[in-house]
Chain A
């Protein structure tokens, strides 16, 4: 009986049911990991936009008088008592575990710190006053407090410092006036930005062109043509530009004066009232007073700012528009470069080259190159494209501004070319597979009809293989959009003051450095001086990058599917 049961167990073990479960667990872990990572990104990324409630509480460190703290909870964690003691906090508590919160208290110019870790047992009288406001500022981060006054060119409004005695109607009036003042400041600011972006950039560009012409004239000392005439002309043009520049500067100053007129007063958690310029305010809102729709509106507002504006405060605030633009432009440029080249190589390998040992080894080599680390491509791009090719281009065409490099420095074109090289094997392999899958009868039919080989390739083979080419392109785009390491060597910068596309000839400036979402994540997440403050923005950027990649992929997949439909076999 006993041995019978033993055998039964033995059989069960030999049958491998346990191993099946082991493998099932592996799948489950993978699934949990993937879904977990995506959920984590979603939650953390969208938290950047959602206006959390502002808390006010009394914080009493043992043995010290209580102080009022105001801020938004950014993180919470449970720590053991030992760890707390290790960091110098003595807590008389019977609990083994203590919760603590990371509170964003703002007003960085005062303490230098945006955040404070607070131990929850010491927090008392937690409350959510509806009048508490959050002021997002251009500099020094957020400000939390109660609005107490507003001074404009025409009116002076102020409330008592005592919150209990404030007349709600008056307070509402003040709040409306404050919002109007912010709206006015933002409108002037938009004008300033437009002026800077369009006209001053233009003027700077023209001045730079003038400088180049002048340098070229100086360098060209062999031709003794009418140099004084040219110089006089250039000087005249120059003074004209400088005059225009000064005029613009005057207008700017006028705007700056206007925008600097208004100021507001805030009652801070410390009890003091500070006066701040309205010009510095991006937006102000009272999250505790907002309902779901109101918060959604603020979140939408912040999302739009994130997508459409320039970064602020050393990239830790504001938008990532230049990075989105740079990423998409670079990927498009890369696609334009890699697709024809990859298809050309694949068509040669499959349709023209004699199949033999050489083509086979080329095929293996190309296949292998798909596995070469991207940083090696970056190295090649830097050494060969930037320094060798770019240096030669500078020697030939831009010698007047040397030693300042034009193409001899990392830039958009080199980045796109490097990534094109990186993804070339992918396109070649995918296209080749597609070509190989086409039945020979198709080509034979074409030949039998008297078509030449070129005609066959162009009108028969390539259209039929286009879904495969699209697959190659999709894979290339997917790989290129997420690639950061090689870009760090060949053209990405943490902050580019101008976009690579603007209204000045030749409109697309291939030599310019650009911003990139992936590099933005790396730089802001790990290299910025204030990583804690930048963290929500980094997660939001990561989420955005993921969205861009998924969007690029989905677009390409849809194009492929449409092509597939178009060239679907109508049954042989």
Chain B
């Protein structure tokens, strides 16, 4: 080892000595030394801590996803205007400032959610002698309420909260809107409307009601002229005899109707076309049903059984072949049998709901995750009604003892659970459980699909194809360069291949996406041809070398085989691509891609795994190459010389002596290369279509964890579930590469100790 001694340092040291002999400032030097030690320790330690902070920060961002829901009492006050009777309906505004309750006598009471004082009181103008006998709400339409009266008419109204900003202070002032006039609209003259369903669209309102004479359907059109009286037109409708409904629900698209009868049986009816009615009676396993509701968006139905078990139902095509009947299918059960169920309350922006049982226990569930998030008894006395706030961050609880409580719910990320991330999930509108990543939903009513499985799959797929291409080339290249290559050539080749490492991956991605992908699409046959012909050429080259007369071969310097192969490869490659159309016409009818997709049924994307494999393989070759090359080159020469002296051929010495010695380094290089392929972003982003599919097909793309983060995080709302799940994806990536790198590092240390023993 060459010892280094700095000349400048020497002169400085002698200067120091001069100062010391002069005998001044010694305490200052020591004081400075102490300070320096302290500062460097602090600084160095904090830098290291900062670097390690990354892992902790990722965890810190991910942990809230898995925290259980909590609930705590925020306010408790006597029910406002208790004289008006119990509430038929309860709701609140988004900011938890004002609540609303509607009583059987038609009182509309807005009250403060902090102390229960009435803010605004109104009254539905009921015809004399009439009272409210049924109520329906359309949650997708800002909470439009339809009140069914016992005289057969309907009142439509909407409690609304106006926002004012005064001196940067938010003030909520509640009002009642009557978008279709304040008067009762006649629906079924003189008949009691025992159940009612309502859906509003941009033109008007569709109503379905249970009158004494049967189910009737009607439509209220928005009047063109303001102030004109809207009329309710009853759509004549032929229905099979269905049991008398105690509760009715109409789907968002008004295509089907769910009906709960007095005996607790659930029925579904398809309303398409309107004249045609097909009923399906269902007897759920949970026993008689006491309450039904939509999940948000109205894509699936929730039922609460008498035994307290809730069930989610999808309307699905019959699985039996030939039959195309829609069937109400139970998908998931929630909760355990216990005290009898009393009421369901679905969240309006997420796929969650709350259930209330007869003993006053409230449970929170999420349908996607099938998780029971919370179960708690909120009051000792009987609870008459619960309601969730619009953001499901609070619950209003009305008790029989005349008190009303506001409970704050902390339930940020109910849709994420181990099962939604890693298992197949049966999403709304899907015929069967699947792994799906589809985070950017078009509307809140679409279920977020956050399975990480397709992303991890895509990551591994990309990395594996890249390794498939990189490993043979890098290993072979490193072995030849380190062991066989002439030193003069090695001195040029090694920096050249290591130059590849400096090539930014964005350039590789660009070449892969814009240049390589179209070429591969049209010349794919040539690539396969090359793969077939190349081994043959290698064999021929070796044979030719062997058969050269000794007089000739002795003159050719050793270790230049690679240089000889360069023009051969260029020539063979050119030949393959020139011949590719000939073969394509002969074997695949002139168009390989068409043959692939039509005759074999294999899907083909222009930007596929092959393109990614080649481009990313190119990116990880230098990583693997330089580690392996160094390791092989530094295997002590006397070992191979010993083997050669014992009569081994160079290749035998290499494979029997050198490679086993260097094997830990080779393994370590593969691990590091794999880790790099797993985390590579730009190449995958640019060279694939980025569709999250689960298919090992060489001719289709993939979406990797890294590319997914790069694409989606700029649009994810800070600290939302989506944002945190992307951080979780980052953490998974971190963990994967950390494992690979640690294994590689341990291997490297083993190798070092091996060398040291020699």
| With known contacts A21-B541, A82-B591, A376-B54, A387–B41 Cβ distance under 8 A | no
| Complexed CA–CA distance, A120 and B596 (Å) | 29
B48-A366 in contact (CB<8A): yes
**B430 at interface, CB cutoff 8 A:** no
Q: Is the CB of A380 within 8 A of B13?
A: no
Instruction: Check if B16 sits within 8 Å of A451, measured CB to CB.
Output: yes
> A559 at interface (Cβ–Cβ under 8 A)?
no
Q: Which residues of B contact A27 (CB under 8 A)?
A: 476-477, 480-481, 485, 493, 562, 565
Q: A32-B570, A459-B13, A569-B3 are in contact. Are A26 and B476 (CB under 8 A)?
A: yes
Docked-complex contact A485 and B681, CB < 8 angstroms: yes
Given A372-B734, A450-B17, A451-B13: A12 touches B591 (CB 8 Å cut-off): no
The reply to whether A489 and B480 contact each other, CB–CB distance below 8 Å, is no
Tell yes or no: A449 within 8 A of B by CB: yes
Q: Please provide the chain A residues from 323 to 355 with a CB less than 8 Å away from any CB of chain B in the complex.
A: 341-342, 344-349, 351-353
Contact of A24 with B484 at beta-carbon distance under 8 Å, contacts A379-B726, A460-B9, A522-B685 already known: yes
Complex interface: chain A residues within 8 A of B37 (CB): 352, 453-454
Q: How far, in angstroms, from A378 to B506 measured CA to CA in the complex?
A: 16
B714 pairs with A542, CB closer than 8 A: no
Q: Given that A442-B5, A460-B13 are known contacts, is A80 also in contact with B709, CB under 8 Å in the complex?
A: no
Q: Is B509 an interface residue (CB 8 A)?
A: yes
A518 touches B484 (CB 8 A): no
Of the listed residues B47, B514, B710, the one surrounded by the most CB atoms of chain A closer than 10 A to its CB is B47
* B566-A485 in contact (CB<8A): no
Partner of B569, one of A29, A372, A374, A531: A29
A12 to B546, CA, bound (A): 8
A160 interfacial by beta-carbon distance below 8 Å = no
Stretch from B64-72, B138-146, B186-194, B496-504 forming part of the interface with A: B496-504
Q: Which residues of A contact B568 (CB under 8 A)?
A: 28
Contact with B along A362-398 (1 / 0, CB 8 A): 1011111101111111111011100100000000000
A169 located at the interface, meaning its Cβ lies under 8 Å from any Cβ of chain B in the complex: no
- What is the bound-complex CA distance between A344 and B585, given in angstroms? 65
Contact between B40 and A20 (Cβ–Cβ < 8 Å)?
Answer: no
Report yes or no: B581 in contact with A97, Cβ–Cβ below 8 A.
Answer: yes
Q: Are A348 and B44 in contact (CB under 8 A)?
A: yes
> Does B718 count as interface, using CB distance less than 8 angstroms?
yes
Q: Find A348's partner among B45, B541, B655, B742 (CB 8 Å cutoff).
A: B45
Q: How far is the CB of B167 from chain A (nearest CB, A)?
A: 9
Asked if residues B727 and A33 are in contact (CB atoms below 8 Å), the reply is: no
Interface pair B43/A25, CB less than 8 Å apart: no
The complex places the Cα of A348 from the Cα of B49 at a distance, in Å, of 13
Given A25-B569, A83-B591, A485-B682, the answer on whether A20 and B12 have CB atoms closer than 8 Å is: no
Q: Say which one of A55-63, A189-197, A503-511, A543-551 lies at the interface with B.
A: A543-551
**Chain B residues near A362 (CB-CB < 8 A):** 48
B562 touches A450 (CB 8 A): no
Judged by a CB distance under 8 angstroms, whether B20 is at the interface is yes
State whether the Cβ of B114 lies closer than 8 Å to any Cβ in chain A: no
Across the two chains, which residue of chain B brings its CB closest to A524?
B510
Contact yes or no, B477 A538, CB < 8 A: no
Neighbouring A residues of B741 by C-beta, 8 Å? 367-368, 371-372
**A352 with B475, Cβ < 8 A, contacts A375-B710, A452-B30, A464-B9 known:** no
Q: Is the CB of A463 within 8 A of B8?
A: yes
What CA separation (Å) do A452 and B26 show in the bound complex?
10
Stretch at the interface among A240-248, A271-279, A304-312, A475-483: A475-483
Query: Within B674-707, which residues are at the interface with A (CB < 8 Å)?
Result: 675-676, 678-682, 685-686, 706
Are B710 and A464 interface neighbours, CB within 8 A? no
**Least distance between B413 CB and chain A CB atoms (Å):** 16
Q: Is B618 an interface residue (CB 8 A)?
A: yes
Q: Given A80-B591, A82-B590, are A373 and B505 also a contact pair (CB < 8 Å)?
A: no
Beta-carbon contact of A20 and B29 below 8 Å? no
Are B706 and A18 touching (Cβ within 8 A)? no
Closest to B541 in A: A21
- On chain B, the residues within 8 Å of A365 by CB distance are 51-52
**B472 at interface, CB cutoff 8 A:** yes
Q: Flag if A376 contacts B734 (CB, 8 Å).
A: yes
A1 at interface, CB cutoff 8 A: no
Q: A21 near B506 (CB under 8 angstroms)?
A: no
Q: A354 vs B338: C-alpha distance in the bound complex, in angstroms?
A: 62
Name the B residues within 8 Å of A52 (CB-CB): none
Segment from A34-42, A135-143, A174-182, A230-238 that makes contact with B: A34-42
With known contacts A27-B476, A30-B497, A485-B706, A20–B561 Cβ distance under 8 A: yes
Residues of chain B contacted by A351 (CB below 8 angstroms): 40
Residue of B nearest to A15 (CB): B649
Looking at the complex, which one of A20, A348, A535, A542 makes contact with B651 (CB distance below 8 Å)?
Answer: A20
Whether the pair A30, B473 counts as a contact (CB closer than 8 A) is yes
Which residue, of B14, B51, B500, B581, has the highest number of chain A Cβ atoms within 10 A? B51
The reply to whether B714 and A553 contact each other, CB–CB distance below 8 Å, is no
With CB as the reference atom, state the residue of chain B lying closest to A388: B57
Cα A41 to Cα B508 with chains together (Å): 10
Residue from the set B5, B8, B52 with the largest chain A CB neighbour count within 10 Å: B5
Return B520 CB to nearest CB of chain A, in Å.
14
B47 near A345: Cβ-Cβ < 8 Å: yes
Q: Mark B524-536, 1 if CB is under 8 A from A, else 0.
A: 0000000000100
Contacts of B618 in A (CB 8 A): 33, 37
In-complex Cβ contact of B504 among A30, A345, A484 (8 A): A484
Residue of B nearest to A86 (CB): B591
Is A257 in the interface zone, CB < 8 Å from B?
Answer: no
A205 within 8 A of B: no
> Which residues of B lie under 8 Å from residue A15 when comparing CB positions?
649, 651-652
- Which of A379, A384, A445, A522 meets B713, CB within 8 Å? A379
Whether A368 and B507, one on each chain, are in contact in the complex, defined by CB atoms closer than 8 angstroms, is no
Contact A375 B709 (CB under 8 A): yes
Q: A residues within 8 A CB of B709?
A: 375, 378-379, 489
B324 at the interface (CB under 8 A from A): no
Residues of B within 8 A of A344 (CB): 40, 43-44, 47
Q: Is A488 an interface residue (CB 8 A)?
A: yes
What residues of chain B lie closer than 8 Å to A489, measured between beta carbons?
709-710, 713-714
Q: What residues of chain A lie closer than 8 Å to B282, measured between beta carbons?
A: none
Say whether, besides A367-B741, A373-B680, A79 and B713 are in contact (CB < 8 Å): no
Q: Is the CB–CB distance between B3 and A439 below 8 Å?
A: yes
CA distance A86 to B584 in the complex (A): 15
Q: Does A216 contact B (CB under 8 A)?
A: no
Indicate the member of A450, A550, A566, A572 with the most B CB atoms within 10 Å: A450
Which parts of A1-49 form the interface with B (CB within 8 Å)?
12, 14-35, 37, 40-41, 44
What are 9 inter-chain pairs, A to B, with CB distance below 8 A? A82-B590, A352-B44, A437-B4, A485-B681, A521-B506, A539-B510, A545-B504, A566-B8, A568-B4
Binding site for B on A (CB under 8 A): 12, 14-35, 37, 40-41, 44, 77-83, 86, 96-97, 341-342, 344-349, 351-353, 362, 364-369, 371-380, 382-384, 387, 421, 424-425, 428, 437-439, 441-442, 445-446, 449-455, 457-460, 463-464, 478, 481-485, 488-489, 518-519, 521-522, 525-526, 531, 535, 538-539, 542, 545-546, 549-550, 553, 566-570, 572
B residues sitting closer than 8 Å to A (CB atoms) are 2-9, 12-14, 16-17, 20, 29-30, 32-33, 35-37, 40-41, 43-45, 47-48, 50-54, 57-58, 61, 472-477, 479-481, 484-485, 493, 496-497, 499-511, 513-515, 522, 534, 537-539, 541-542, 545-546, 561-566, 568-570, 573, 581, 584-585, 589-591, 594, 618, 621, 625, 649-652, 654-655, 672, 675-676, 678-682, 685-686, 706, 709-710, 713-714, 718, 726-727, 730, 733-734, 737-738, 740-742, 744-745
**Lowest 3 CB-CB distances: which A-B pairs, in order?**
A348-B44, A373-B679, A16-B651
Additional A-B contact list (17), CB under 8 Å, known A12-B546, A27-B493, A353-B44: A27-B477, A28-B562, A29-B569, A344-B47, A364-B742, A368-B742, A369-B51, A371-B672, A378-B710, A428-B47, A455-B16, A457-B40, A489-B710, A526-B514, A535-B514, A567-B9, A569-B5
